[in-house]
Amino acid sequence: MKKAVILFNLGGPDKLENVKPFLFNLFNDPAILNLPTFLRYPLAKLIANRRAPIAKKIYEELGGSSPILKLTEDQSTALEKKLNQNEKSEEYKCFIVMRCWHPRAEEIVKNVKFFNPDELILMPLYPQYSAATSGSSIKEWNDVCKKNNYKIKTSVICCYPTDKNFINAHTKEINKKIKDLKNFKLIFSAHGLPEKNIKKGDPYQWQVEQSVNKIIENLNHHNLDWILSYQSRVGPLKWIGPSTDDTIIENAKKEKHIVLVPIAFVSEHSETLVELDIEYKKLAMDNGCKQYTRIPALGTNEDFIKSMSELIIKKDEYKFNDYLCPPEIKCPSHLKKCPCLNYE
């Protein structure tokens, strides 16, 4: 049996002249700007035009392009190798689909059809579900399949915030850095969302909290000084908090050794390599911090690849229905944006 695994990620510009169209694709997503098309399209153009100069400077720090595609390809290669070590007579092939830059769903669906699998498994590289990330990617893929009249048995690993191998991956990476440290603050940093998204029932914040709570439990570190915060705020809306920059300033002034963990990013990109490594480090040092350590994104971490592999191979054990396979996570009933809310 042949199975195709679709790995979803955000994507990033491959050269500086593509920064503006990348930003347009990002803000033209209805999951980001929930407006009618006739309003969203010109507003997305306006935002992209205004943000492009700042964003270009960020990508200049990275050598003129985003590394996210190459790093996602590394994850895809490692995962495909792991999947094909299974003892069943199943052949797996991984395909990458980016939401805001190439390769896009419209391109990849043709490659998948040529592979001619018996089943599709959709695997977002977003451990915690949000309508703005996993939800948007899954919807676009399904829309493209419908447009291309491509009908095939499909399963979705919609989230995995407390999967044991995912938690072990983070635990081991953190322990490598903190085992001999004194007077440090462990700061988990996740991409923020506008508060209104959470009030409308997006499960993202709750799922991030579950990830962090499991990691803290797994670390089993006596009197561990830690906090969860949120980064990358843009625009005038109120976002969930506390903010990572405020948290860094507060602890830098106490001369704490700051240890920063990107809890919702599994691939290095501008939000980790520039925002965390350059901008936040400078902010910390300017406010009295003497030592600053950043835990790497999971990337091809062996436990993380094992996490995805086992979630895919054992997905039928987690079946919510014929489509969704959420592993051992039950969102509270008020989080109505959860795709498989009706657990109760």
Helix and strand numbers (H, E) in the chain are: 12, 8
Query: What is the number of residues in the chain?
Result: 344
Q: Are 256 and 289 in contact (CB under 8 A)?
A: yes
Average pLDDT over residues 202-227: 96
Looking at residue 278, what DSSP letter applies? Answer: I
- Confidence check: pLDDT of 342 > 70: no
Which pLDDT band, with edges at 50, 70 and 90, does 236 fall under?
A: confident
C-alpha distances in angstroms, 17 versus 14, 45, 60, 69, 255? 9, 15, 11, 17, 41
The answer, yes or no, to whether residue 181 has pLDDT greater than 90, is yes
Q: Residue 146 — pLDDT band, cuts 50, 70, 90? A: very high
Q: Is 324 helix (H, G, I), strand (E, B) or coil?
A: strand
Q: Is the pLDDT of residue 341 over 80?
A: no
Q: CATH number of the domain at 165-294, out of 3.30.70.2470, 3.40.50.1400, 3.30.479.30, 2.40.50.140?
A: 3.40.50.1400
pLDDT of residue 210: 98
* CA 284/CA 290 separation, integer angstroms: 8
What mean pLDDT is predicted for residues 11-20? 98
Mean pLDDT of 296-316: 97
Strands 2-9 and 119-124: parallel
Q: Kindly list the domain boundaries of the chain, sorted by start residue.
A: 165-294
Instruction: Summarize pLDDT for 74-129 with one digit per residue, the tens.
Output: 999 999 999 999 878 899 999 999 999 999 999 999 999 999 999 999 999 999 99
Give 295's DSSP letter.
P
How many alpha carbons fall within 13 Å on the CB side of residue 300? 14
Read off the pTM.
Answer: 0.96
Q: Residue 343 above 70 pLDDT? A: no
Looking at residues 22-46, what average pLDDT do you find?
A: 95
% of the chain beyond a pLDDT of 90: 91
Q: Mean of the per-residue pLDDT values for the chain?
A: 95
| pLDDT higher than 60, residue 40 | yes
Task: Please tell me the predicted confidence (pLDDT) of residue 318.
Answer: 86
Cβ-contact 343, 331 below 8 angstroms: yes
Residue where the block lists tokens 């695994």:
5
Picking from 178, 182, 180, 158, the residue whose alpha carbon sits closest to that of residue 170 is 178
